[in-house]
Structure 1
Amino acid sequence: MGLRAITFQAVVETFSRKKIVEFESGTKLAKVLSTLDLTALGIGSTLGVGVYVLAGDVAKNTAGPAVTVSFFIAAVTSILAGLCYAEFGARVPKAGSAYVYSYVCIGELFAFIIGWNLILEYLIGSATVVKALFLYLDELSDKVMSQFFEENMPMTGGGLGHYADIFSLGLSIVFAVAIALGAKESSWVNNIFTTINLLVVITVIISGLWKVNASNWSISEEEVPPDHGTGGFAPYGVKGVIQGAARCFFGFIGFDCIATAGEEARTPQKSIPIAVVVSLLIVFFAYFGISTVLTMMWPYFLQDENAPLPHIYQEVGWPALKYVVSVGAICGLFSSLLGAMFPLPRIIYAMASDGLLFKALSIVHPKFQTPFMGTLIAGSIAGCLACIFELNRLANMMSIGTLLAYSMVAACVLILRYAVDEPEKKFEDKEELTFKKYFTQMFHRQSKIPTTLTASVVAWLVLAYFCTAFIFSGLITGFEKELENAEPWLLSIICVLAIVLIFLLLMVSWQPKSSAELTFAVPLVPWIPGLSILVNVYLMTTLPSHTWEYYAYWMLIGFAIYFVYGIWNSRERASNKNREEKENRLPHDKNDNLSESHM
């Protein structure tokens, strides 16, 4: 395994070193998951905290009754990302999700960055859900557990909790053991939790129809308390709806775990696209229905941001339904925990199998056919985070990793759609790529089939689009007051950048596309992946500065592991060296044969 010092040449190689996926090769993981299992996994990991907490919180503090529109915008954004995931998941049905996607078409270093971000997302996601589950159960027990821990296990320190939450630590380990015992068994339990969760959501929507009052969407400004907007359907204005959409978007995070489990699917090319799209649609209708009922049953400014559904049923005189909702909330949170924790060891397994993380993490249990050690370690770390930290300081870090992964997948879809077809590579003339050839190809398409030149042009255009989108989004989020005041200089710059973004995608669309047949393809390429990148980048720029600081620390740890260990133990690096040695031996073998024939 040897730890060695890094060299400049080794770093340069990581940018171009790509993973070669062998579609016909076997896998050590059990292929037991059906389309229904993957769909339930996607619904379970997504439909949890959003229904039972997010809807009331966003309605009260950010968007008012227009939270329904916010959820619609967030759903459209998520479906854009979901379509890209569906195409790439059908192309590369390997455990690892966006990590494998970026490894295949971009390069090893970028793939490690994405994989490390996904580990962060699922670690904090698991810790957040297990903490929420503890707090919900604690609330139902009149805070007996928290009072006991605070009296017997108090803690002090910046960012730490007030007490050691041993319950969350234990629950996280129990779930990790359950997942380690087998993918099919854990998916079966998840299907039960998800079914109960959906039944409760349907019960809430149908029962709420008996108590809805349309006047709650048109409350006059005189009836609204201070600091709660101006009343009506959108009391916080268009800005509130957009900000609400940014918050609601994080209620859709989790569907990418479907692609992560692709290597354990029976028919991944078929199952992954169907599961992604169906799960996102079901989750959207659940969020839309719940938020509509919530804001029509009770005024938006009287919502309870922590537990809106039990609060409303208590207020309207239906306390029995409060306990039905509580059962659904617990099942939903259990399902979310399973959905957040299920993909985590599989990301670790994929990276360790490729040699980028320590090899021990890739060991598959011979009986249970799961990454046993990686699952237990991941569950223990998530439990420790939930045990000692106040997770509100870390929650936004999950968003950075997710949004960056979504953006990279959309970029990968663009690059692969315009990539050189494998059969054509053998017959392509190798020529020097000059600036003149790049410039000519961008504005005057000379080839009707993809070549190295056209693929390279698309890659540079996608990079330029990503950078321009970041500047465009940064200006919008950084100069909100100037934008509200319609400052001419700012509007001029934004309009110019918007035209540049459209023109960059136009130039991409002028390039020849790959003729490879796909079981599922994103429609309207390059426009849908381009829009997905823009929206994801915009949401990244809305995150607070301290989140970027924590993110930097996490990436420093990751780079230390990669550049000291992973870069030298990469399986692709070893494969490349073996291929080069064989190619170098071939000319010598031919010369030896010729000399022997002359003799």
Structure 2
Amino acid sequence: MNILSKVNRKTSLAKFIDRDHNLKRTIGTKDLIMMGIGAVIGTGIFILPGTVAATTAGPGITLSFILATVVCSLCAMCYAEFSSALPVAGSAYTFGNVIFGELTGWIIGWGLILEYMLSVATVSAGWSAYLQSFLANFGIVIPKAISGNYDPSHGTYVNLIAILVVLFISWILTRDVKSSTRLNDIMVLVKIAIIIIFVVVGAFFVKPTNWNPFLPFGMSGVFKGASLVFFAYLGFDVIAASAGEVKNPKKTMPIGIIGTLVICTILYILVSVVLTGIVTYTKLDVSDPVTFALQMIHLDKLGMLISLGALAGMFTMMVNMIFSSSRLIYSIGRDGLLPKRLSEIDEKRKVPRKSIIFVAIVIAAMGGLFSLDKLASLVNIGTLIAFTFMSIGIIPLRKRKDIKNDGFKVPLYPVLPIISAIACICLLFKLPVDTWITAAIWFAIGLCIYLGYGIRHSRSNKENG
């Protein structure tokens, strides 16, 4: 068989389901929605509505969130159909493998590895900074040497808190899925409660005059704002990574994905409306607009509560991204494209323990030692590439006679999938050139790994000679 046939071989759904038989299906609809909210709603809910309103959209930021939701919903519906039709672990990596072939699946997976691990590493450093700031209110100061990434010129050598939080979350995930989802559910409820407290209390201090003018930057500002806040929704795709461990996936996965978007949109809009009503939008271009607004109305202690909400938000985001990273690595190892050890399942806990440990080591090292600020935009490119393939992929999915789907299907086929793909491509071209250059290097490395290791150890190629 020539190399072109090998890299384009499509693995059957039945084989993927058989490979995942050791995973335990314990995740229900409520847990899945909680996972989605945990991944999507992070510290950004306390920052984006203010900064984007101040610089781009004004009080019309609420319309920006609605527009971003429409675009994101198109991608979400495509993911929902894939998750319903292919209830297996690995998210877009596995979907791409089944529909487009192994090489395309690998490229999507390699992009998702970048998205998941880099986003967690970046957030772990942010979580450390927030916690240090919060502890400082009580006179607790972390020694400078262990308070930041490796930078001897500024007296920092390791970000110990960032490392410890990643290791702690990973330890929880090695116990069993139920334990991690239970902790995630509690933290998400705390986060939502704090957001609701801000909305309810802040509503009493809203001045409608602050919403005038509602569109100071015109509709162009609303559309530009939508492109900026679109990235606030990144993370809902991690739900698809858990498909191999979900009860009744044909029903649960679509509800989980779409339910997550609906709830997160409502929360973002409520915060935006109240925030721009408390303080005129022109004053919100600060690093912590919600805390700033509360100080303006002399509710400083509530600002401390918002800090707790931000910590809870970042924590749940890390829980879900580490979970998804480990399932992605497990899936690629399961297929032989990475060392098979990474796909071994702990017989007692029914979790891919070695993949969790591998992910924990990589993320802890990145978050604890390196400055990732300049690389954070790479998260967007990995996500949008996956979104584009999943949108386009609905068309060949519908044509596959061997894949029966009696669950969710994208309405107005094929119009909506095509519009979704075009929207994602447009957003890809809005990313800066240096992001594309760095991403090209990352994907070149991935291609070398696939051609040097993956293609020779591919389970599909071995099974089919």
CA displacement at 1:141 relative to structure 2: 3.2
Please tell me whether residue 421 in structure 1 is matched to residue 401 in structure 2.
Answer: yes
Which residue identity does 1:168 align to in structure 2? A
CA displacement at 1:370 relative to structure 2: 1.2
Residue 11 of structure 2 corresponds to 19
Residue 304 of structure 2 corresponds to 323
State the structure with bigger RCO (CA 8 A, min sep 6), 1 or 2. 2
Residue 268 of structure 1 corresponds to 249
Residue 482 of structure 1 corresponds to none
Please tell me whether residue 60 in structure 1 is matched to residue 41 in structure 2.
Answer: no
Please tell me whether residue 174 in structure 1 is matched to residue 168 in structure 2.
Answer: yes
Q: Of 558, 561, 576, which residue of structure 1 is paired with 2:464?
A: 576
In structure 2, the CA distance between the partners of 1:149 and 1:65, relative to structure 1 (3 Å rule), is farther
Please tell me whether residue 165 in structure 1 is matched to residue 145 in structure 2.
Answer: no
In structure 1, how many angstroms separate the alpha carbons of the residues matched to 2:449 and 2:150?
A: 34
SS at match of 1:141: helix
Residue 356 of structure 1 corresponds to 337
- Which whole-Å deviations, capped at 9, do the CAs of 1:361-411 have from their partners, x for residues lacking one? 111112221111111111221122222333221111010110110111111
Which residue identity does 2:5 align to in structure 1? E
Contact 1:54–1:305 (CA<8 Å) still a contact in 2? no
Which residue identity does 2:444 align to in structure 1? L
In structure 2, the CA distance between the partners of 1:376 and 1:34, relative to structure 1 (3 Å rule), is same
Please tell me whether residue 310 in structure 1 is matched to residue 302 in structure 2.
Answer: no
In structure 2, how many angstroms separate the alpha carbons of the residues matched to 1:391 and 1:154?
A: 11
In structure 1, how many angstroms separate the alpha carbons of the residues matched to 2:263 and 2:434?
A: 34
Contact 2:333–2:343 (CA<8 Å) still a contact in 1? yes
Residue 545 of structure 1 corresponds to 433
Residue 37 of structure 1 corresponds to 31
Q: Of 82, 100, 104, which residue of structure 1 is paired with 2:98?
A: 104
TM-score, L = length of structure 2: 0.94
How many residue pairs align between the two structures? 461
Residue 155 of structure 1 corresponds to 151
Residue 406 of structure 1 corresponds to 387
Residue 111 of structure 2 corresponds to 117
CA displacement at 1:527 relative to structure 2: 1.0
Q: Of 534, 544, 556, which residue of structure 1 is paired with 2:422?
A: 534
Contact 1:161–1:389 (CA<8 Å) still a contact in 2? no
Contact 2:148–2:368 (CA<8 Å) still a contact in 1? no
In structure 2, the CA distance between the partners of 1:153 and 1:17, relative to structure 1 (3 Å rule), is closer
CA displacement at 1:237 relative to structure 2: 3.4
In structure 1, how many angstroms separate the alpha carbons of the residues matched to 2:323 and 2:286?
A: 28
Residue 129 of structure 2 corresponds to 135
- Which whole-Å deviations, capped at 9, do the CAs of 1:143-185 have from their partners, x for residues lacking one? 975761379986169xx99653122122111211111221111
In structure 1, how many angstroms separate the alpha carbons of the residues matched to 2:58 and 2:178?
A: 42
CA displacement at 1:251 relative to structure 2: 0.6
In structure 2, the CA distance between the partners of 1:275 and 1:548, relative to structure 1 (3 Å rule), is same
CA displacement at 1:571 relative to structure 2: 1.1
Q: List runs of 5+ in structure 1 lacking aligned partners.
A: 1-8, 219-231, 423-513, 578-599
Q: Percent identity?
A: 33
Q: Which runs of 4+ in 1 moved over 4 A?
A: 143-147, 150-154, 160-163
In structure 2, the CA distance between the partners of 1:24 and 1:365, relative to structure 1 (3 Å rule), is closer
Contact 1:63–1:235 (CA<8 Å) still a contact in 2? yes
Please tell me whether residue 383 in structure 1 is matched to residue 364 in structure 2.
Answer: yes
In structure 2, the CA distance between the partners of 1:359 and 1:333, relative to structure 1 (3 Å rule), is same
Contact 1:161–1:388 (CA<8 Å) still a contact in 2? no
Which residue identity does 2:390 align to in structure 1? V
In structure 2, how many angstroms separate the alpha carbons of the residues matched to 1:539 and 1:342?
A: 27
Tell me which structure has the larger Cα radius of gyration. 1
Residue 120 of structure 2 corresponds to 126
Q: Of 206, 209, 227, which residue of structure 2 is paired with 1:215?
A: 209
Larger mean CA deviation between 374-383 and 268-277 belongs to: 374-383
Q: Of 193, 196, 199, which residue of structure 1 is paired with 2:190?
A: 196
Q: Which aligned pairs between 1:434-449 and structure 2 lie closer than 5 A?
A: none
Residue 436 of structure 1 corresponds to none
Contact 1:97–1:256 (CA<8 Å) still a contact in 2? yes
Which residue identity does 2:417 align to in structure 1? P
Which residue identity does 1:120 align to in structure 2? L
Larger mean CA deviation between 316-325 and 37-46 belongs to: 316-325
Larger mean CA deviation between 251-260 and 14-23 belongs to: 14-23
Q: Which aligned pairs between 1:253-292 and structure 2 lie closer than 5 A?
A: 253-292=234-273
SS at match of 1:59: helix
TM-score, L = length of structure 1: 0.74
In structure 2, the CA distance between the partners of 1:304 and 1:181, relative to structure 1 (3 Å rule), is farther
Which residue identity does 1:568 align to in structure 2? R
Which residue identity does 1:236 align to in structure 2? F
Larger mean CA deviation between 243-252 and 278-287 belongs to: 243-252
SS at match of 1:355: coil
Residue 567 of structure 1 corresponds to 455
In structure 2, how many angstroms separate the alpha carbons of the residues matched to 1:15 and 1:531?
A: 29
In structure 2, the CA distance between the partners of 1:318 and 1:557, relative to structure 1 (3 Å rule), is same
Larger mean CA deviation between 48-57 and 533-542 belongs to: 48-57
Which residue identity does 2:164 align to in structure 1? G
> What is the Cα-based RMSD across aligned positions, in Å?
2.1
In structure 1, how many angstroms separate the alpha carbons of the residues matched to 2:142 and 2:55?
A: 27
In structure 1, how many angstroms separate the alpha carbons of the residues matched to 2:80 and 2:387?
A: 12
In structure 2, the CA distance between the partners of 1:353 and 1:150, relative to structure 1 (3 Å rule), is closer
Residue 179 of structure 2 corresponds to 185
In structure 2, how many angstroms separate the alpha carbons of the residues matched to 1:308 and 1:112?
A: 40
In structure 1, how many angstroms separate the alpha carbons of the residues matched to 2:260 and 2:147?
A: 43
Contact 2:45–2:268 (CA<8 Å) still a contact in 1? yes
- Which whole-Å deviations, capped at 9, do the CAs of 1:280-315 have from their partners, x for residues lacking one? 100000001101111111011212532222221121
Q: List runs of 5+ in structure 2 lacking aligned partners.
A: none
SS at match of 2:162: helix
Which residue identity does 1:128 align to in structure 2? T
Which residue identity does 1:275 align to in structure 2? G
Larger mean CA deviation between 89-98 and 296-305 belongs to: 296-305
- Which whole-Å deviations, capped at 9, do the CAs of 1:233-282 have from their partners, x for residues lacking one? 23333333222211211110111111100100111111100110111100
Contact 1:105–1:415 (CA<8 Å) still a contact in 2? yes
Larger mean CA deviation between 284-293 and 379-388 belongs to: 379-388
In structure 2, the CA distance between the partners of 1:152 and 1:200, relative to structure 1 (3 Å rule), is closer
In structure 2, the CA distance between the partners of 1:237 and 1:194, relative to structure 1 (3 Å rule), is same
In structure 1, how many angstroms separate the alpha carbons of the residues matched to 2:432 and 2:156?
A: 24
- Which whole-Å deviations, capped at 9, do the CAs of 1:475-500 have from their partners, x for residues lacking one? xxxxxxxxxxxxxxxxxxxxxxxxxx
Q: Of 274, 278, 299, which residue of structure 2 is paired with 1:297?
A: 278
SS at match of 1:343: helix
